[in-house]
Amino acid sequence: MPVKAGERLDPEATRARILKAAAEVFGRRGIHATGINEVVEAAGASKLTIYKNFGSKEGLVEAVLTDRTHRVRAWHNSVVEQAPPGREQILAVFDLVASWYAETGFRGCAMMNAATEDRGQDGAPRRLARDHLAFYRELFERLLTQAGARDPGTTARQLVVVLEGATLISAVDQDPGLGAEARAIVETLLDSAL
């Protein structure tokens, strides 16, 4: 039974390091365009270690996306908890994504990008993208119900459209202004829905 090892040889840390580096290079250059050797270089890990941990490039991609969607969900749940209930909680979600748009080299939603690259296939990227959309839908529906919306389900789906549309355009146009744009749309929709 292998006990906790030192630092350099800690498998958990190695795995996390590979995930972080792979997420960065996948996001920057695209998944199909990124070779395993680029992940090797970015992570400072050997191919042996990558394939021992993730089995294949496909497995690595799935692990990266799974990690990413979990982190995004945790961030959203966190900012929602810290915002005053009602309308403010919904706007807090869009303030969070607006801060992502403002990051230099923003590349859009990793899950949507992966599903788009993998189009025609019905693998993990598409499934994770759909789950990611479902998370947003359920989050918005919950917040809208609490805020007393007339039709929380419908309005929730509308907010997801706005969120993903703004994210896509912000990435394509490299324009952080889509954060304010999305917020204005949401304000109008909430005025009509609450």
Partner DNA sequence: CCTAGATGAGAACGATCGGTACTATCAATT
Partner DNA sequence: AATTGATAGTACCGATCGTTCTCATCTAGG
Q: Residue numbers of the site for DNA (CB under 7 A)?
A: 1-11, 14-15, 34-37, 40, 44-49, 51-53, 56-58
d(CA 193, CA 191): 6
Which sign does the torsion angle of CA 27, 29, 34, 37 carry?
A: negative
d(CA 97, CA 91): 10
Does residue number 182 form part of the binding site for a second copy (CB under 8 A)? yes
d(CA 141, CA 20): 31
Does residue number 69 form part of the binding site for a second copy (CB under 8 A)? no
Stretch 109-148 residues interacting with a second copy (CB under 8 A): 112-113, 115-120, 126, 129-130, 133
Stretch 6-45 residues interacting with a second copy (CB under 8 A): 27-30, 32-33
- Here the tokens at position 109 are 């939603």
| Cα 46–Cα 115–Cα 33 angle in degrees, nearest 5 | 45
- What, of DNA, a second copy, none, does residue 153 touch, CB below 5 to 8 Å by kind? none
Which residues form the interface with a second copy (CB under 8 A)?
27-30, 32-33, 107-108, 112-113, 115-120, 126, 129-130, 133, 154, 157-158, 160-166, 168-169, 171-173, 178, 181-182, 184-185, 188-189, 191-192
